[in-house]
Amino acid sequence: MKRWMLAIPLLLFLGTAVFLYRGLYLDPSELPSAMIGKPFPEFSLPTVQANRTLSRADLLGKPALVNVWGTWCVACRVEHPVLNKLAQQGVLIYGINYKDEDAAAEKWLTEFHNPYTLNIADAQGTLGLNLGVYGAPETFLIDAKGVIRYKHVGVIDDVVWREQLAHLYQGLVDEAKP
Amino acid sequence: MKRWLAAMLLGLSLAGVAQAAIDTYQFANEAERVRFRTLTQELRCPKCQNQDIADSNAPIAADLRREIFRMLGEGKSDPQIIEFMVDRYGDFVRYKPALSSRTALLWFGPAALLLGGVVMILLIVRRRRLAGANTPQDLSEAERARLAQLLDKEHP
């Protein structure tokens, strides 16, 4: 047995330990989105107020947050005040009311205030499917040309906004300036 | 006999677990039904991550099953359907990942480890055999006496 071979078990152990240690801090429920860098999918859906039909073209021109929400989603209620605050600060937010009823959604918006500039009613979840949505709330960051640049799964709170989304959004705003 | 009984009881208790979510879909033919079953068992539910979409009761899994059924009806091929899912949810949804440079370790890692183990065992066996051939088979007179003494001590 050569001397260096004695070190093999130790090296194997250290390698495994490094992988397992990393695994402690990974969140398996967060999937890398396959949609980043792809254009926002085409759609033709009514607004929640059902007064007009929206398509992809309506979302273009300015960078925005596209927030997937539903009245059935408990975490969305936690997120809602944060979105209201962001909307007041001038952040452009579009909503996708995912697999919900329009009446319930309208009631929610009048009760809790409406941060959404436009609100797409995706009752069947078809747009959600094309976006790769697997639970609400999810928020996409799209640029002025309608390309998806970032996706956040889960509630946006003050910390998430400050540490992850704010500078990305600001970057897109700066990018859109001529 | 007892062992057989235990095995049978265990088997029966498992039979209840191996159930899938129930939908009512009308397939055009038996082949399509089989394809639906294979596809839903090969794709992973994005929400409840350790279940395939055939098995899961999550709303998103139901949506994906409906979508697969629709695409089968449209005459899409299996690779097209899988591509549709991967485009939206990433490679993650495939229980059988595509063979690429990123997944090569996943595909060949276990076989490489097994092969390494076999090579190790062969090396060790060979070395032992060589070492065994070199030791003298016969004991010297003094060793014989000592051996007899030791054995006597053990079994007086």
- CB–CB of B88 and A132 under 8 A? yes
Query: Residue B46's domain is classified under what CATH number?
Result: 1.10.8.640
Q: Is the pLDDT of residue B142 over 80?
A: yes
Is B69 inside any structural domain?
A: yes
Compute the average pLDDT of residues B19-44. Answer: 82
Mutation target vs A (from B88, B94, B130; most A CBs, 10 A cutoff)? B88
> Which residue segment(s) compose the domain that B78 sits in?
18-93
Is A80 inside any structural domain?
A: yes
Q: A–B: how many Cβ contacts below 8 A?
A: 35
What is the count of structural domains for chain A?
1
Q: Is the pLDDT of residue B18 over 60?
A: no
Q: Is the pLDDT of residue B135 over 80?
A: no
Which of B62, B93, B124 marks a domain boundary? Answer: B93
Is B12 inside any structural domain?
A: no
Compute the average pLDDT of residues B52-64. Answer: 87
Q: Which pLDDT value is given to residue B137?
A: 66
Which of B93, B121, B141 marks a domain boundary? Answer: B93
ipTM: 0.74
Q: Which pLDDT value is given to residue B1?
A: 67
Compute the average pLDDT of residues B27-54. Answer: 88
Using CA coordinates, name the residue in chain A closest to B88: A132
The pLDDT mean for chain B works out to: 83
Compute the average pLDDT of residues B94-115. Answer: 88
Which of B93, B113, B146 marks a domain boundary? Answer: B93
Is B37 inside any structural domain?
A: yes
Is A9 inside any structural domain?
A: no
> Which residue segment(s) compose the domain that A64 sits in?
35-176
Among the partner-chain residues A34, A99, A133, the one whose CB lies closest to the CB of B87 is A34
Q: Is the pLDDT of residue B39 over 70?
A: yes
Is A16 inside any structural domain?
A: no
Q: Which pLDDT value is given to residue B98?
A: 82
Is A25 inside any structural domain?
A: no
What is the count of structural domains for chain B?
2
Is B111 inside any structural domain?
A: yes
> Which parts of chain A have pLDDT scores under 70?
1, 29
Q: What is the pTM of this model?
A: 0.71
- A153 contacts in B (CB within 8 Å)? none
Q: Which pLDDT value is given to residue A150?
A: 92
Q: Which pLDDT value is given to residue B28?
A: 82
Is A23 inside any structural domain?
A: no
Q: List all residues of chain B from 96 to 155 with a beta carbon under 8 Å from chain A.
A: none
Is B112 inside any structural domain?
A: yes
Residue B27 sits in the same domain as residue B87? yes
Residue B108 sits in the same domain as residue B78? no
SS (H, E, C) chain A: CCHHHHHHHHHHHHHHHHHHHHHHCCCCCCCCCCCCCCECCCCEEEECCCCCEEEHHHHCCCCEEEEEECCCCHHHHHHHHHHHHHHHCCCCEEEEEECCCHHHHHHHHHHHCCCCCEEEEECCCHHHHHCCCCCCCEEEEECCCCEEEEEEECCCCHHHHHHHHHHHHHHHHHHHCC
Mutation target vs A (from B43, B47, B63; most A CBs, 10 A cutoff)? B63
Query: Residue A95's domain is classified under what CATH number?
Result: 3.40.30.10
Compute the average pLDDT of residues B133-152. Answer: 79
pLDDT digit string (tens) for A72-107?
989 999 999 999 999 999 999 999 999 888 889 999
